[in-house]
Copies of this chain bind each other. A is one copy, B any other.
Amino acid sequence: MKNIIDGGFKGQIYPINPKGSKILGWACYPSLINIPIDKIDLVIIVVPAKFIPGVMEDAAKKQANCAVIISGGFREAGNDDLELSVIETAKKYGIRFIGPNCQGITYTPNNLCAAWPLMKSKGNMAIISQSGTVGAAFAGWTKEDNLGLSSFVSLGNKSDIDEIDLIKYFSVDQSTKVIGMYLEGVKDGRAFMNIGRSIVNKKPIIVLRPGRTHKGSIAAQSHTKSIAGDYKIFDAACKQVGIIKADTVYELYDFSKIFSLCKIPKGNRCLIITSSGGSGILATDVAEKNNVNILTLKSETKDILHQSLPSHCIIGNPLDLTGDTNAERYYEVVKKLKNIDYIDIVLLVFGDPIPNAADFAKKMKDEVSQEIVTCYIGGGDIQTKEVLNLHQVGIPTFPTPERAMRAISALIQYKNFFQKSILGLEK
């Protein structure tokens, strides 16, 4: 309730508690039926499990058709019958619900944060998570990164609303550009594939699905009693419909972030421009393993660069501006690439403190056709500030060259899969 208030939700809030007269200074009602209106839009439930069927009955009397059941103590704790009873009650009255055993929901377009942590910043990433903590971590990273979310939905036991309902919802949600998901299991694999196929060419879907090893799969089954199924089949299914698979929680976030901020590039040819030779090499290795083409500069391009750069710069790809560079030098180089059609993506690696990196990167973004992605590493306090600034101007930045290049490879993977659709979109 504190987060609903602090989140700035503009609708009416009716706190309910049978024991108390006030919650956080707000007058309480002893039960749902005492609320002085006839129709309730949404009921957020955080009472002990055994009371929930009764609460659902009350909700029905107030014509509620949506609920979020945060409380645990159901199937995951061996109380299957109680969960079934909640499902039946909900079905009887036509109440759709999220949970139980979840961390709530956030939808920033209407300032509703009925979840934790507090999420207020608006953005275009939706995160659907079967793990509250993974969702919270994702939300925390958006905050640290000066970015926002459109929505966070904690799935919990998925007794009613599941990933398929939510993909459908976000596919038409105008505030959402990319859907990130942490899923421990999928109830209906075929339905998941079908919905994925119909939506992913309009909105990228990123999925992290753990339990890929034998013991990991057993752990997944104990956690949410999901039918874990075979990881390889799931993997192949994603590949077949163009859903992007993340291998770690970082990748789930990084891939969502790059789709949130970047356009889909026209090709897979990437130029790395760096002040740190080492970081350039690390990025190149990741590119080579992930189908990103570290293109060879043509001799006429090299000539242009040789004329405009100090002689100690290493003209190649990576293009090493070396340690004495400032942000303007990156800009001077990228400006010259404006009409070069054999470069699709530029990765700028800012190694060590480089002030005003965001200002110059923004100019590049405005002036050239290539997608601009950045990595900022080893830059201390200046880095901390510039990372916020870069995201402020809509340019993704990553804390290591490996993470930056893996994120780029996700863009490329998507482009390769949907080449035709994307060309269509770009007309």
Contact = CB atoms under 8 A, between A and B. Distances in A.
A378 B320 contact: no
A323 B103 contact: yes
Contact of A278 (B184, B312, B352): B184
A53 interface: no
B213 A284 contact: yes
A400 B281 contact: no
Contact of A133 (B182, B215, B276): B276
A109 interface: no
A148 interface: no
Contacts of A134: 276, 278-279, 377-378
Interface string A244-277: 0000111000000000000000000000000111
Contacts of A242: none
Contacts of A215: 284, 287-288, 294
A202 interface: no
Interface residues of A, number: 71
A135 B312 CA distance: 21
Contacts of A178: none
Contacts of A401: 249
Nearest to A118: B380
Interface stretch (A59-67, A217-225, A409-417): A217-225
B380 A288 contact: no
Contacts of A129: 278
A282 interface: yes
Contact of A137 (B222, B320, B378): B378
15 contacts: A103-B323, A116-B352, A130-B278, A133-B275, A133-B276, A133-B351, A133-B352, A136-B379, A139-B378, A211-B281, A213-B288, A218-B316, A219-B284, A249-B401, A249-B402
Interface of A: 72-73, 76-77, 103, 116-117, 129-137, 139-140, 182, 184, 210-216, 218-220, 222-224, 248-250, 275-282, 284-285, 287-289, 294, 311-312, 314, 316-318, 320, 322-324, 351-353, 377-380, 383, 400-402
